[in-house]
Amino acid sequence: MRAVLLVALVPALALPPSGCGGAGDGTCNQDFDCASAEVCANNHACRDADRVYAVTVAWTLSGQPASADTCALIDHLELEVGESFGADYAHFAPVPCDPGRFPFSKLPDTYDYARLDVVTGGQSLIESHRGTIGPSTGTITFDLDSAAPLPDAAIVVDAPASIDGGAIVDAGVGD
């Protein structure tokens, strides 16, 4: 009798816990790591499918599209998205400059800001932009002023963004 009971318990122990990836800690790498009504959000957490949204963070350099030429003086970018009044955020680095965009397909609906930092070859932060994002944003575009090097200086832009044709456009420096 005891052996039969043990055999009946072993298959139950082999099943992953409901939630994410079998680890039971709420993390995931793909949608199938989550419960059936959930998706794996871009911060690697299982979320209800109606609690995520898509947004693209895009950038230009002094009004020009990002390219190998316009990004030549930039080593890489660092991108952070998260909650303004919470502790939850996701940080991505290094982000190459020349694609000019970083799409998110499933950001948690609590994420309400994007910050884009410009880093030089010497690993110095020379510019930072921050803007508001949300489910109706679509694309937020930052115009970076880093086409020329700024030795021993940093530009921090925390200006209100404006909506332009459904996309939020950073107010920029000196606008």
End-to-end Cα distance, the chain:
80
Q: Is the pLDDT higher at 151 or at 54? A: 54
**pLDDT value at residue 40:** 97
Q: Phi and psi of 65, rounded to 5°?
A: -60, 150
Left, alpha or beta for 25 (phi > 0: left; psi -120 to 50: alpha)? alpha
pLDDT grade, residue 26 (50/70/90)?
confident
Least reliable range by pLDDT among 9-18, 21-30, 35-44:
9-18
pLDDT in tens, 78-118: 999 999 998 899 999 999 999 999 999 999 999 999 999 99
Cβ-based burial of 74 (10 A; exposed 0-12, middle 13-18, buried ≥19): buried
CB of 76 closer than 8 Å to CB of 93: yes
Does the pLDDT of residue 44 top 70, yes or no? yes
**27 pLDDT higher than 70:** yes
pLDDT, greater one: 76 or 10: 76
**Cα gap 77→96, rounded to integer Å:** 6
Residues 6+ apart with CB under 8 A from 147: 61, 62, 64, 70, 73
For 117-165, the pLDDT digits (tens) are 999 877 788 899 999 999 999 999 999 986 544 444 344 444 444 333 3
The confidence score (pLDDT) of residue 24 equals 54
**Domains with residue ranges and CATH for the chain:** 2-40 (no CATH), 50-169 (2.60.40)
* pLDDT for the residue numbered 20: 41
